């Protein structure tokens, strides 16, 4: 199993034609561009964590029923420096690198001092994001690398800090129907008071002079940390038509530990701490005014990486997310853990907290004279509760939708709107997805696609032209297998029935990845 997860991938820089079995809809025209870790060692040096691997970008291009594949390593500064030195010289999330002992004392001292406030790697391995008409390989740091989605060439690096005061930003922005991009980031040391920042990049931010779209970035609002030295970690957020939903969770970044990590000999990953005794705060911010709803909404301890969707209904903000009881998920992806035999891995990770899809409902119009202890949720299609407390705060308890699903996807035409279906990777005995599921929120049932010994990537929904029904479209997933008799393939499913319409077998190495974006042909 480990051979497809933690071994070095390889590039396929020239497009290769896939062998299609079945029938790909003729209307499916465009490229699915995906990102993930693909290089885990350089020379004799190896990364410790799967999320450290250097970015390998893939594209699957659909045209007239045919599929072509290509892949290239992101030519980040990190990649270039590592390859030139023939060893890992840039620190990552789970791998801290120290200067060459052969360097002179002044060079070493300079390196040590520059690590007081980390200047993070630009190894952008999580997702492909769009700002204006620009596409970027992105992770959760202040750097992104612009790519050409057609050739997968790396165009150049951009620093958020040249345009907006941020140290960290998510790789999961939202896009509205006009093409504007919304995202969230964290301003830490050296950028004024520490805060969470919500910002917007207009759809028309690109121009013919090739100036970055980020130069037109607009800050919507900022939210102060509830604890100055322990900001919440966040991987994504929710967005409705009028509101941003930010979950300030008890999975936190220890700023003092981060600032001293290099000297203490600990990795950045070890600067995240889970406070099992803390609560979770839910912030609801009006996109147009930048003002937060004054009600203090809170819930029990949880850890969240991915939001599914959010919308407004009858004076409530409803949002669905995937929660965990603790933060052990990251530990499972240390490469030493991943390289164990399957049976040993399952035994070791029995305490693994499974992902649970949960729905929260936050009532917006709360009257001060509401009796304490009252459930304020009046929606009839959810058991989620929001109970008024003696101090005027509102304690929120979720409605559990489904257990054992991650990497959620929806018909993005229904993003920020009331919706019925979501898709995701089924996680049953490990963090390795071995099925794709479609969940129906109304009847609380799911259907699956599965093939023995196959590991599908995050499902991506592409709607049929002019589709009205929410599930009228296809699901795309890149599938890999440790079985040498099963070549990697692009899977095309009917999104309504989850039945296989086609598979396009790739005559090249394909590496398992994280997230991606479908870019329709112009």
**In a 3-state reduction of DSSP, which class is residue 159?**
strand
* Residue 407 CB neighbours (<10 A): 23
- Strand pairing report for 45-46 and 54-63: unpaired
Q: Which residue has the tokens 């709360």?
A: 366
Radius of gyration of the chain (CA): 23
Counting beta carbons within 10 angstroms of the beta carbon of residue 480, is it exposed (0 to 12), middle (13 to 18) or buried (19 or more)?
Answer: buried
Question: Among 268, 396, 413, which Cα is nearest to 323's?
Answer: 396
Alpha carbons 113 and 398: distance in angstroms, whole number: 46
Helix segments in 68-140, DSSP class H: 77-85, 105-114
Q: What angle do CA 14, 19, 23 make, to 5 degrees?
A: 125
Q: Which residue has the tokens 């240390």?
A: 334
Is 328 in contact with 337 (CB distance < 8 Å)?
A: no
Give strand ranges (E) for 75-153.
127-131, 134-138, 143-147
235 annotated among ligand-binding-site residues: yes
Alpha carbons 269 and 277: distance in angstroms, whole number: 21
Alpha carbons 220 and 235: distance in angstroms, whole number: 19
Q: Between the CA of residue 445 and those of 412, 423, 439, 473, what are the distances in Å?
A: 21, 12, 6, 19
Is 138 in contact with 189 (CB distance < 8 Å)?
A: no
Question: Among 239, 410, 393, 380, which Cα is nearest to 312's?
Answer: 239
Is 20 in contact with 63 (CB distance < 8 Å)?
A: no
Strand partners, 130: 135
Q: Say which residues have a Cβ less than 8 Å from residue 265's Cβ, sequence separation at least 6.
A: 96
Question: Among 427, 423, 481, which Cα is nearest to 452's?
Answer: 481
Alpha carbons 104 and 334: distance in angstroms, whole number: 33
515 annotated among ligand-binding-site residues: yes
Is 147 in contact with 153 (CB distance < 8 Å)?
A: yes
Question: DSSP readout, 226-289?
Answer: SSTT-PBP-S--EE-SSEEEEEE-SEEE-HHHHHHHHHHT--GGGGEEE-TTS-EEEEEEETTT
User: What phi, psi does 27 have (nearest 5°)?
Assistant: -75, -15
Helix (H) or strand (E) segment spanning residue 61: strand 54-63
Annotated binding site: 172, 235, 306, 515
Annotated binding site for Fe cation: 172, 235, 306, 515
């Amino acid at each position: 199993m480990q051979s497809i997860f933690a071994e070095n991938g390889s590039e396929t820089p020239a497009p290769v034609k896939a062998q299609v079995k079945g029938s790909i809809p003729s209307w499916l025209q465009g490229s699915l561009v995906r990102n993930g870790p693909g290089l885990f060692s350089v020379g004799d040096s190896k990364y410790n964590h799967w999320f450290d691997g250097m970015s390998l970008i893939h594209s699957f291009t659909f045209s007239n029923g045919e599929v072509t594949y290509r892949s290239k390593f992101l030519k980040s500064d990190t990649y270039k420096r590592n390859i030139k030195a023939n060893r890992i010289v840039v620190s990552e999330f789970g791998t801290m690198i120290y200067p060459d002992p052969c360097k002179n004392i002044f060079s070493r001292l300079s390196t040590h001092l520059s690590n007081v406030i980390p200047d993070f790697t630009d190894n952008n391995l999580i997702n492909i994001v769009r700002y204006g008409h620009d596409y970027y390989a992105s992770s959760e740091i202040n750097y992104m690398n612009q790519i050409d989605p057609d050739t997968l060439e790396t165009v150049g690096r951009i620093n958020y800090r040249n345009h907006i005061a941020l140290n960290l930003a998510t790789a999961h922005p939202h896009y509205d129907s006009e093409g504007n991009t919304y995202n969230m980031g964290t301003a830490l040391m050296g950028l004024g008071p520490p805060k969470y920042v919500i910002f917007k990049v207009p759809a028309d931010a690109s121009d013919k002079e090739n100036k970055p779209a980020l130069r037109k970035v607009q800050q919507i609002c900022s939210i102060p940390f509830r604890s100055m030295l322990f900001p919440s970690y966040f991987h994504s957020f929710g967005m409705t038509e009028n509101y941003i939903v930010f979950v300030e969770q008890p999975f936190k970044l220890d700023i003092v530990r981060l600032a001293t990590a290099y000297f203490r000999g600990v990795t950045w990953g070890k600067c995240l701490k889970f406070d099992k005794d803390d609560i979770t705060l839910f912030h609801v911010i009006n996109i147009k005014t930048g003002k937060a709803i004054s009600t203090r909404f809170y819930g029990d301890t949880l850890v969240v990486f991915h939001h599914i969707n959010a919308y407004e209904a009858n004076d409530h903000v409803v949002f669905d997310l995937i929660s965990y009881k603790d933060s052990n998920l990251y530990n499972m992806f240390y490469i030493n853990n991943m390289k164990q035999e399957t049976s040993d891995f399952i035994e070791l990770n029995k305490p693994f907290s499974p992902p649970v899809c949960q729905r929260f409902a936050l009532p917006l119009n709360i009257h001060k004279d509401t009796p304490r202890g009252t459930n304020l949720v009046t929606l009839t299609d959810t058991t989620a509760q929001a109970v008024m407390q003696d101090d005027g705060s509102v304690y929120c308890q979720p409605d559990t939708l489904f257990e054992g699903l991650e990497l959620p996807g929806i018909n993005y035409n229904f993003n920020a709107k009331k919706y019925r279906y979501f898709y995701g990777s089924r996680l049953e005995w490990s963090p390795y997805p071995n099925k794709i599921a479609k969940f129906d929120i109304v009847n609380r049932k799911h259907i699956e696609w599965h093939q023995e010994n196959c590991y599908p990537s995050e499902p991506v929904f592409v709607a049929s032209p002019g589709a009205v029904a929410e599930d009228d479209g296809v699901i795309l997933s890149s599938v890999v297998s440790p079985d040498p008799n099963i070549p990697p393939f692009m899977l095309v499913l009917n999104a309504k029935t989850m039945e296989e319409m086609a598979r396009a077998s790739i005559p090249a190495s394909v590496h398992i990845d994280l997230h991606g974006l479908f870019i329709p042909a112009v």
